[in-house]
Structure 1
Amino acid sequence: MSDTNRAPVQAEPKKFSIRVSRRETRRGTVMAFLAWILAVYDYIMFGTLLPEIRTEFGWSEAEATGIATAISVGTAIVVLGIGPLVDRIGRRRGMLATVGGTAVASALTAMTMNPAYLVAVRSIAGLGIAEQSINATYLNEIYAATEDEKIKKHRGMVYSVVQSGWPLGVFAAAGFTSLLLPLVGWRGVFVLAALPALIIVLLRRSLKETPQYSIFSEAHKLKKSGNVREADELLAKYGLDHDHGAPIKAIFNAKFRRNTVFLSLVWFFNFFGVITFTVLGTTLLTDGKGLPFSVSLLVFMAANLGGFFGYLLFGALGQRFGRRPMVGLGFLLAAVSYTLMLLWAADTPTVMVLYAFGQFFMAGPFAALMFYMGECYTTDCRATGTSFLNAMGQPGTIVGGAIITAMLASGLDWTTTAMVVGVGGVFLSGLLMFGCKSMPQLADFGHRVDPAVAQ
């Protein structure tokens, strides 16, 4: 009988562990937290050391800006690509790839020879930026299947602690760079940054795959071998959705399209605020508010402490009152705080307080936003959806930066520019958030399944 007429091979039923132990849950949470700190550390460290790199190679400010823009484009491409990959290879392998990419990017940056090399290497660091979206995917599924009732009940709050690795990474980058730069130079700083990331790669190797993905992966294999009915029965047995096809295509189908479109716009416009108030924060404070650089650095660091506490609060508020409305409200309050800082604050303490409130209300909602994004998609395209949305911040950075440059070049001052680009972007992102659909948190996985299938 020819191969074309051969019946599909009947697979033996496979049993799955649908529970995640308390120890595994907490270990996965800690690993996600540490990996995110290191990813942010690498990202911020590059921005901090770019002037040193520029000086060594003799690049002009325009050349350095062009290189940074090219890196943003490369980063966006890498972040877009990692999501579909993780939906194919699994959450565990994806988490190894993201923190591994951080280690590789740090080590290779130390060997920078020319602009093209730097752009290529720093684009790899997009794997580190994707860390937060892969963390959200992994932890959403782990918390839905965990035996740890405390984490299950307060999953949004617990995730906010993981996401708070951003300000901790910023502080680590600023602190260690200032300590190590005089001792080992900028190349040595990058080499040393790769070491803790490599340690996390080794520790993460023992993490277990999420039960949802394990079951979905098995169903996908059954379909490929021709056992479509068995695959559908397996997914139905564990209460998982059916395969929607290619992950990128899936996130734009009728079920997910509205949230994909609105959340893409939320990320795009919100990063107008990120480029204005975070990336160019010290420049805004010195040129826009007239503060000395040393003072502006202190104000900037104090304001980012506000962001840290914002993560914790919005994680709890999102769990209690719903993530979508809390994110939208937070961004709108951030726009109000930044407006008061730009137009009303006239002394350093007032600037510091209002800037801290702005960072509190803009950074904090991301703790709820990242977890909400994981709830917007099903297992077959969850990593693709969260990574795609995460990547939309990069175009926002590029476009927002270009508008800022054009407005300043035309003679407008920093206050006007920051109001139009920064405040305008943050305010729009808050309004757009209310265009998204409210999503229930992921159902507790495995607890409504026939005990006969639970192992």
Structure 2
Amino acid sequence: MKTIEINPIIDNARFTRFHGMVVALCALLLIFDGYDLFIYGVVLPALMSEWALTPVQAGALGSYALFGMMFGAFIFGPLADRIGRKKGIAICFVMFSLATFLNGFAKTPAEFGIYRFIAGLGCGGLMPNAVALMNEYAPKRARSTLVALMFSGYSLGGMLSAGLGIYVLPRFGWQAMFHAAAVPLLLLPLIMWKLPESVGFLVRQGKDKESRDMLARVNPDVKIDAGATLVSTDAKGVGVPMLDLVKDGRAAGTIMIWLAFFCCLLMVYALGSWLPKLMAGAGYSLGSSLSFLLALNFGGMAGAIAGGWLGDRFSLPKVVVAFFAVGTVAIALLGFNSPMPVLYLLITIAGATTIGTQILLYANTAQFYPLQMRSTGLGWASGVGRTGAIVGPLLGGSLMAAALPLKMNFLFFAVPGLIAALAMGVFSLRCGGSAHPTRANPVTRQAPLHALRAEQTR
């Protein structure tokens, strides 16, 4: 009986409408995800005024969703390896959309925090699974670019949240911002109909016909015999214990990835939660303060796409190091008096090198782990990183309460960028030549196409 390995079929596929559909659907999901995550920074000034919150209380309230994201990443990453990524994504999507909608009815900070925690569970679970699904189906020579394009939906969601806030907040209040989160649920039937299941999961489940049909859509140029047995070199079993992430020479890479995630997400959520409030405190109007958040997310989208393009042509870890270094400088400079065009430029660069670099970290992590532990690896990296996301709003609240000069706030926000650059520098030196030990590294410059058939780096 003929045996066919599925990974080279996917790796060497040309870009088709199927790939475009996967990019579009995952990007759409992340638009809603990004909206739900950045909405807190948009409504924070109104919440602090209505509920008389101190900066420390506001920072703690902002961390509720991020606690949820941490647990969501830990839970739904490994769970999707067992039940399938499509089901895992759908569960997470419904969870965060409903909880965010209910946030608009909260009467007290405690009630608000409970709904934000539940929404965070869904948001934290959706991200790693969407990245893993996109990474699985993307042709190898364009993998980083396609993952970055997909993840630009996250920044678009942040832009949508800030842009909608400029119009909605003065007219309808902060509750309407949360009520709008119910609208995406109308697209759930379309998502369930069109979003493909992981082909690796189908192979593990022994669903050969569905696997063959899926591969025919991924790579129409390859003809698969009906009697052929499909296998994945990486598909050793269902579910992977967390300890496998540090076995077989992966320990150093895993630890450096976790440290980079922690620092990056600290910066993303410190800026996302407190940038409008900091700028309002510096004398800018509410509209101007929210437009800074808009510029931050625009930069995140541009940085992700540019970084993905560079990562497919050069070493992705080295691109991440460069982005962190530039971000450290840009964030530090935000606290100094600058002309408005320079300020917008610095904020855009800060977004490109924090939000954008977060997206590159997901792509780098997805390429570091083999297929059978990819959701688990992404889930744990994201979950550990969420501790940094939790610290970010708390740090911002503490700094606001201390009434430090504006420049000191941004200097504190910049320090994690330097630490992350050093961590990814170590990753590049230790793991830049082998994504998984004994295998060629998909995180570095791509191999020639004729060599890809010999590589099993998924």
Q: TM-score, normalising length from structure 1? A: 0.79
Structure 1 segment 118-157 matched on structure 2, within 5 A: 118-126=112-120, 127-144=122-139, 152-157=140-145
Assess if the C-alpha contact under 8 Å between 1:100 and 1:198 holds in 2.
Answer: no
Distance 2:453 2:388 in 1: 42
Partner residue, 1:29: 23
Q: Which moved more, 1:33-42 or 1:73-82?
A: 73-82
For the residue of structure 1 that corresponds to 2:295, the secondary structure is helix
Equivalent residue for 2:161, pick from 173, 191, 195: 173
Q: TM-score, normalising length from structure 2? A: 0.78
Partner residue, 1:196: 184
Structure 2 residues without counterparts, runs of 5 or longer: 208-227, 436-440
| 1:191 to partner: Cα distance | 3.0
* Aligned residues: CA RMSD: 3.5
Residue 261 (1) aligns with residue 262 (2): no
Partner residue, 2:376: 384
Partner residue, 1:326: 319
Partner residue, 2:362: 370
Residue 207 (1) aligns with residue 195 (2): yes
Structure 1 segment 46-445 matched on structure 2, within 5 A: 46-53=40-47, 62-126=56-120, 127-144=122-139, 152-181=140-169, 185-200=173-188, 202-218=190-206, 237-243=231-237, 246-287=240-281, 291=284, 293-343=286-336, 345-407=337-399, 409-410=401-402, 412-419=404-411, 421-436=412-427, 437-438=431-432, 439=435, 440-441=441-442
Assess if the C-alpha contact under 8 Å between 1:328 and 1:430 holds in 2.
Answer: yes
* Structure with max Cα Rg: 1
Amino acid at match of 1:174: A
Q: From the superposition, tell whether residues 277 and 203 of structure 1 become closer, same or farther in structure 2 (CA, over 3 Å).
A: closer
Distance 2:186 2:199 in 1: 26
| 1:180 to partner: Cα distance | 4.1
Distance 1:55 1:408 in 2: 15
Distance 1:157 1:15 in 2: 27
Assess if the C-alpha contact under 8 Å between 2:68 and 2:119 holds in 1.
Answer: no
| 1:316 to partner: Cα distance | 0.3
Distance 1:285 1:47 in 2: 12
Distance 1:235 1:247 in 2: 27
Q: From the superposition, tell whether residues 46 and 107 of structure 1 become closer, same or farther in structure 2 (CA, over 3 Å).
A: same
| 1:396 to partner: Cα distance | 1.3
Distance 2:206 2:187 in 1: 31
| 1:428 to partner: Cα distance | 0.9
Assess if the C-alpha contact under 8 Å between 1:270 and 1:428 holds in 2.
Answer: no
Aligned length: 414
For the residue of structure 1 that corresponds to 2:195, the secondary structure is coil
Give CA-to-partner distance per residue, 1:200-250, whole Å, 9 cap, x none: 45423443322222223449xxxxxxxxxxxxxx99953225349643232
Identity of aligned residues (%): 23
| 1:355 to partner: Cα distance | 2.7
Distance 1:53 1:335 in 2: 30
| 1:298 to partner: Cα distance | 3.5
